[in-house]
Amino acid sequence: MMNMTLDGVAEFPEYPEDPSAPWEDPLYEPRFDSFDTLLLGRRTYEKWSEFWPQQVDSPTSGPWEKRFAGFVNGMEKVVFSRSLAKAEWPRSRIVRDDPAAEIARIRQVPGKDLALCGGPRLLQTFLEEDLVDEIYLRMFPSLVGSGKPLFRVHTDPLHDEDLIPLSAVGRRDFSLVEASPHGEGVVFLHYRRSRPTE
């Protein structure tokens, strides 16, 4: 579950504030009840663990911030990191081993869906390991020119006639589930992994 600009940067562009515009969250809020575990990289964990626990009782937090804070504070949080020394945010734990082994272990335990919420490097690892079943994107109508790329793309020209064959190494195909506009040019996209028939 990620934000993305038109040129593929996994960051949140700043726009002039419009107090009259209603806030819509097509990415997280409709799915609050379907998840019980968040998958985070170190940098996202450090930022979120410093910010979100404070928002529940903060007088400056709006209704959405309070709802999202309640959501993330109550979730099980799995942090994939080899360098994070400790995870003190309640219901957090660090995984230093192979993500594929940990996801296989979690999938054997009864529970709800897992949400990978950050960051792009962790997503890239999960995509390479073919661990992503669905992609939810909030795409912003901006070309920002630089930043953290959401997807890892190898730029060497490997394919004749600009045609990427079905058997190309690293190729993963997804089917569109939903595409909807959400004000000011933002588009919400939901894709589900298309797996080849056996």
Given this model, what pLDDT does residue 198 score?
Answer: 46
Q: Which pLDDT belongs to residue 197?
A: 59
| Pick from 87, 151, 106: nearest CA to 124 | 151
Compute the distance between CA of residue 171 and CA of residue 165 in angstroms, rounded to an integer.
9
Model pLDDT for residues 83-130, shown as the tens digit of each residue = 999 999 999 999 998 999 999 999 999 999 999 997 899 999 999 999
- The dihedral sign for the CA sequence 116, 73, 66, 11: negative
Domains of the chain: 2-9+26-152+166-193 (3.40.430.10)
Q: Closest Cα to residue 158, out of 173, 168, 166, 149?
A: 168
Q: Partners of 35 in the beta sheet? A: 113
Confidence of residue 137 (pLDDT cuts 50, 70, 90): very high
Indicate the angle between helix axes 63-74 and 42-55, nearest 10 degrees: 120
Per 3-state DSSP, the chain is made up of helix, strand and coil in percentages (nearest 5) of 25, 25, 50
Distance CA 93, CA 77 (A): 6
Rounded (5°) CA angle 166-169-175: 50
Round to whole Å and give the CA distance between 48 and 71.
Answer: 12
How far is the C-alpha of 29 from the C-alpha of 112, rounded, in Å? 16
pLDDT at 167: 82
Count of residues making up the chain: 198
Edge-to-edge strands, sheet with 2-5: 2-5, 134-140, 187-193, 174-181
Percent of the chain with pLDDT over 90: 69
With 60 as the cut, is the pLDDT of residue 17 above it?
Answer: yes
Q: Is the pLDDT of residue 60 over 70?
A: yes
Phi then psi for residue 118, to 5 deg, are 165, 155
Rounded CA separation 70/37 (Å): 14
SS3 119: coil
pLDDT(155) > 80:
no
Q: Which of 57-66, 88-97, 137-146 comes out lowest in average pLDDT?
A: 57-66
> d(Cα 71, Cα 28) in Å, to the nearest integer?
9
Per-residue pLDDT band for 22 (boundaries 50, 70, 90) equals low
Which residues, listed in sequence order, are joined to residue 92 by a DSSP beta bridge? 77
